[in-house]
Amino acid sequence: MTARANGFTLVEVVVALFIFAMLATAGVSLLSFTVKAQSATARVLSDVSDERRLSALLINDLGQAVPRVSRDEVGRPRPAFQANQGDLLFAFVRGGAKPQHVEIRLDKGSLVRMATPFVDGATVGKALVLETGVERTKLRFRNKSDWQDDWSSERTDAIPRALELTLVRQGAAPITRMFLVGTGE
């Protein structure tokens, strides 16, 4: 019998390096997948957070809508609720401790909230961007008995019972939300 020398043969070293390379490749692939998944999750969570923030703001605003006729900057009367007039999606008087005239507009792909510091005769304050990347919107309004695509009322102090807003954003599925307006009566 011949004595074997201490150490590894070339074949053993190559096999060990091959196994190590496979494990390293699997580790890098797993890390890459994890980073991509984290990025996608952060993007989706950001979109969900933006949508929830938008819904909360509109719930608060529309929930405090009051049937009050107001006046614009030059003193002309405006109905308690206006809708679908050019880039103006809808406008109303928000009651509460500090009543305001609130307008929600679609401006160059952005959903924008504009409010006056008080109801009558005030100029509109700074715009607050609620949502970006909006391709189009659709509104429906609940009157006493049914849903309608346009808001019209014989009374200038009338407000709808509810509002349905559908937002179509770039690269995303449409989102439809329903909101009570005022007390919903």
Q: What is the pLDDT of residues 70-120, one digit of tens each?
A: 998 888 999 999 998 888 999 999 998 889 999 999 999 999 999 988 888
The two structure tokens encoding residue 91: 């406008």
117 lies in some domain: yes
| End-to-end Cα, the chain, rounded Å | 102
Could you give the number of structural domains in the chain? 1
2 lies in some domain: no
123 lies in some domain: yes
Give the gyration radius of the chain's Cα atoms.
Answer: 29
143 lies in some domain: yes
- Provide the CB-side half-sphere exposure for 97 (13 A, CA): 0
When pLDDT is cut at 50, 70 and 90, the band that residue 4 belongs to is: low
When pLDDT is cut at 50, 70 and 90, the band that residue 185 belongs to is: low
Structural domain span for residue 82: 9-185
DSSP 53-118: HHHHHHHHHHHTEE---EE-TTS-EE-SEEEEETTEEEEEEE-SSS-EEEEEEEETTEEEEEE-SS
Geometric angle at alpha carbon 172, from 61 and 55, rounded to 5°: 15
22 lies in some domain: yes
84 lies in some domain: yes
Q: Which residues contact 49 (CB under 8 A, 6 or more apart)?
A: none
4 lies in some domain: no
Q: Kindly report, residue by residue over 129-173, the tens digit of the pLDDT.
A: 999 999 999 999 998 889 999 998 888 899 999 999 999 988 888
Which of 63, 78, 70 lies closest to 161, judged by CA?
A: 63
70 lies in some domain: yes
